[in-house]
């Protein structure tokens, strides 16, 4: 090991200079060592916290309410039970719109749609009965809610309903009807609707998304959902925790776009 000596300085001053440098190096080394210890402690605390949260989530998963009803055919679509006990189903995409109209709309059912972008087709399954104005209004609201009106923060709009025989894939000569779209003929019955969504727990422990009036009628526990600035996944976590159901189940019920859970 070679040591540089400043010949302009005395031996004592050279030694003193190296001594001060050594002190500074030791101080820096000690500081670095302390920083490593602090980092390791923070890492340990973080891992401990993460482990606790994981255990807590596993316990919550075990305590989730179990549904008493097998999965129903309509649960692959948007769906809800109206305040007047009518089953209402809606398309999730172009494919399910096709299926709902072609396979699940029958005579005397009412079919809902909106001119807003991304509007689904909704069908009130009348089962030979005549739905009242409450069910019609609730279905119009859900048609609007699951359109892009939610993402675009359009709070209200026009929705119309027609009979199944007014809906077809027959386009005028030279025109094309795309997948998930249909031609509407005859009179359209227009309804003014607004964004209205709540998520509640039915007696059979299924989560249901519907206008607040329908959710209040069928659910004891529920949360109101509004357009907002939070990610759907964050809202789903809050609702799932409140209703004690899985996050995935709630995610399927929420419209596209940011939202917030009303306190």
Could you tell me if 90 and 110 lie in one domain?
yes
Cα distance between residue 164 and residue 109, in whole Å: 7
Domains contained in the chain, number: 2
pLDDT at 46: 76
Residue ending a domain, among 43, 63, 83, is 63
Q: Is residue 190 part of a domain?
A: yes
Determine the pLDDT at residue 8. Answer: 65
Whether 81 and 155 map to the same domain: the answer is yes
Do 115 and 138 contact (CB within 8 A), yes or no? no
Q: Which residues contact 24 (CB under 8 A, 6 or more apart)?
A: none
Range of the domain at 43: 11-63
The pLDDT tens digits along the chain (263 residues) read 555 665 666 666 666 666 677 677 777 767 667 766 776 777 777 777 777 666 556 655 555 667 777 899 999 999 999 999 999 999 999 999 999 999 999 999 999 999 999 999 999 999 999 999 999 999 999 999 999 999 999 999 999 999 999 999 888 877 888 899 999 999 999 999 999 999 999 999 999 999 999 999 999 999 999 999 999 999 999 999 999 999 999 999 999 999 999 97
Q: What is the 3-state secondary structure (H, E, C) of the chain?
A: CCCCCCCCCCHHHHHHHHHHHHHHHHHHHHHHHHHHHHHHHHHHHHHHHHHHHHHHHHHHHHCCCCCCCCCCHHHHCEEEECCCCCEEEECCCHHHHHHHHHHHCCCCCEEEECCCCCCCCEEEECCCCCCCHHHHHHHHHHHHHCCCCCCCCCCEEEEEEECHHHEECCCCCCCCCCCCCCEECCCCEEEEEECCEEEEECCCCCEEEECHHHHHHHCCEEEEEEEEEECHHHHHHHHHHHHCCCHHHHHCCCCCCCEEECC
Of 96, 115, 127, nearest to 160 by C-alpha is: 115
Same-domain status, 41 and 108: no
**156 in the same domain as 56:** no
25 with 57, same domain: the answer is yes
Q: Check whether residue 87 and residue 126 sit in a common domain.
A: yes
Are 31 and 154 in the same domain? no
* Residue-level pLDDT at 76: 96
pLDDT of residue 144: 98
Q: For the segment 93-108, what is each residue's pLDDT rounded down to a tens digit?
A: 999 999 999 999 999 9
142 touches 210 (CB < 8 A): yes
Burial of 2 (0-12, 13-18, 19+ CB in 10 A): exposed
Say what the pLDDT of residue 45 is.
77
Q: Is residue 142 part of a domain?
A: yes
CB-hemisphere CA count at 13 Å for 184? Answer: 17
Residues 43 and 110 in one domain: no
């Amino acid at each position: 090991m070679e040591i540089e000596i400043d010949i302009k300085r005395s031996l004592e001053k050279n030694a003193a200079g190296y001594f001060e440098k050594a002190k500074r190096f030791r101080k820096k080394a000690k500081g670095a060592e302390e920083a490593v210890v602090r980092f390791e402690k923070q890492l340990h605390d973080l891992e401990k916290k993460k482990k606790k949260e994981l255990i807590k989530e596993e316990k919550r998963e075990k305590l989730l309410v179990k549904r008493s009803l097998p999965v129903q055919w309509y649960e692959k679509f948007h769906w809800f039970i109206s305040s007047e006990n009518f089953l209402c189903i809606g398309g999730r995409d172009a494919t399910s719109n096709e299926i709902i109209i072609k396979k699940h709309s029958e005579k005397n059912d009412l079919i809902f749609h909106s001119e807003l972008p991304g509007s689904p087709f909704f069908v009130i399954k009348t089962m030979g009965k005549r739905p009242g104005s409450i069910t019609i209004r609730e279905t119009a609201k859900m048609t609007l809610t699951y359109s892009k009106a939610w993402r675009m923060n359009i709070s209200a709009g026009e929705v119309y309903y027609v009979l199944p025989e007014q809906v077809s894939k027959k386009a005028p000569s030279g025109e094309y009807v795309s997948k998930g779209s249909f031609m509407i003929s005859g009179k359209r019955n227009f309804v003014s609707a607004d964004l209205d969504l709540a998520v509640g727990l039915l007696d059979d422990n299924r989560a249901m998304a519907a206008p607040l009036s329908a959710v209040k009628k069928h659910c004891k526990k529920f949360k109101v959902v509004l357009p907002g600035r939070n990610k759907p996944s964050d809202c789903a976590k809050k609702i799932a925790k409140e209703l004690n159901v899985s996050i995935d189940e709630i995610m399927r019920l929420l419209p596209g776009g940011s939202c917030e859970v009303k306190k």
